[in-house]
């Protein structure tokens, strides 16, 4: 039997002790008041998040991958963030990978026992051929989940950069990773229900890590998703709007460029630079790791 009394996310919240006695609106107000504290907890961890983003960016730039590993809510949040990277940034599904204790079945059903197995995490990471080029981020509200600890220990042995996202004070996992992220969210509105404030903090931080890393490797121009995949009507419309916003061309011109290049990034670069040859565009962008700003600087320097 583990002693959870020392885990900060297991503390009782003095502000919500009467949550079972109040009307619906007051229940919601109490939850909302607690939720307001989450971004402030994340803000205090900005310096730690910065270090992790730089490590992840370096890994992406050298062919490495990002792994999230977690159990229960934490695992689901990692998988959610990973699954949204390909359509948002046009990257391979193998670039950001989410692993959850119990596998895909655990996405819909609670399989609590499996989180106590360190060996299960090692097995899951081995299946993905984990290498020293990869970054592994353990997500654990309590900071002690054996599945996550086992995964981090294995990643350390493999020479990976390791990080964690935890919402507990002085946690076990923060002591064994190279780059801890500790957003101390305090007692939950429902004691120990880390799907609430802790889960919200984890979601915010995962969004920050992948978004900032993708910005730094050239997947974003200004604040626009220039590698967005045009896989449905909404995204096709978004792609057209992006091209129009950046270049100032008409709707018809934007559509024509998108049809020609089948790429928001290529369309933008062609329209701004005046270069129409797709092979030439590809070469220039590849020379600058897909970064539009850096590629345009080359063009400008060439003609000066």
Catalytically annotated residues: 84, 115
Query: What's the Cα-to-Cα distance from 252 to each of 45, 235, 249, 257, 268, rounded to whole Å?
Result: 46, 17, 8, 9, 14
CA-based nearest residue to 230, from 267, 188, 271:
267
Contact 117, 101 (CB under 8 A): yes
Q: Of all helices (H) and strands (E), which one includes residue 5?
A: none
CB 137 within 8 A of CB 163: yes
CA-closest candidate to residue 202, choices 259, 137, 261: 137
Give me the half-sphere count of Cα atoms (radius 13 Å) on the Cβ side of residue 196: 21
| DSSP assigned state of 191 | T
In angstroms, the CA 42 to CA 137 distance is: 16
- Please state, in angstroms and rounded to a whole number, the distance separating the CA atoms of residues 1 and 116: 12
């Amino acid at each position: 039997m583990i002693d959870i009394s020392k885990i900060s996310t297991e503390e009782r919240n003095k502000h919500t002790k009467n949550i079972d006695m109040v009307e619906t609106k007051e229940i919601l107000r109490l939850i909302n008041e607690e939720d307001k504290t989450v971004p402030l907890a994340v803000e205090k961890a900005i310096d730690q998040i910065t270090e992790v983003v730089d490590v992840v960016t370096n890994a992406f730039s050298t062919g490495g991958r990002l792994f999230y590993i977690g159990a229960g809510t934490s695992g689901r949040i990692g998988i959610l963030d990973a699954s949204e990277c390909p359509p948002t940034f046009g990257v391979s599904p193998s670039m950001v990978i989410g692993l959850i204790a119990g596998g895909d079945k655990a996405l819909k059903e609670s399989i609590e026992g499996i989180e106590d197995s360190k060996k299960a995490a090692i097995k899951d990471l081995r299946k993905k051929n984990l290498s020293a080029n990869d970054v592994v981020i353990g997500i654990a509200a309590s900071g002690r989940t054996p599945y996550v600890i086992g995964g981090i220990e294995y990643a350390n042995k493999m020479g990976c950069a390791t990080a964690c996202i935890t919402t507990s004070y002085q946690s076990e996992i923060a002591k064994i990773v190279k780059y801890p992220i500790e957003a101390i969210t305090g007692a939950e509105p429902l004691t120990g229900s880390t799907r609430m404030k802790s889960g919200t903090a984890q979601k915010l931080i995962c969004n920050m890590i992948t978004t900032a890393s993708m910005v730094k490797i050239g997947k974003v121009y200004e604040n626009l998703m220039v590698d967005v995949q045009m896989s449905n009507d909404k995204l096709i419309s978004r792609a057209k709007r992006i091209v129009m916003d950046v270049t100032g061309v008409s709707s018809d011109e934007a559509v024509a460029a998108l049809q020609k290049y089948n790429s928001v990034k290529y369309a933008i670069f062609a329209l701004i630079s005046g270069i129409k040859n797709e092979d030439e565009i590809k070469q220039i962008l590849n020379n600058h790791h897909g970064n539009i700003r850096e590629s345009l600087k080359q063009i400008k320097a060439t003609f000066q």
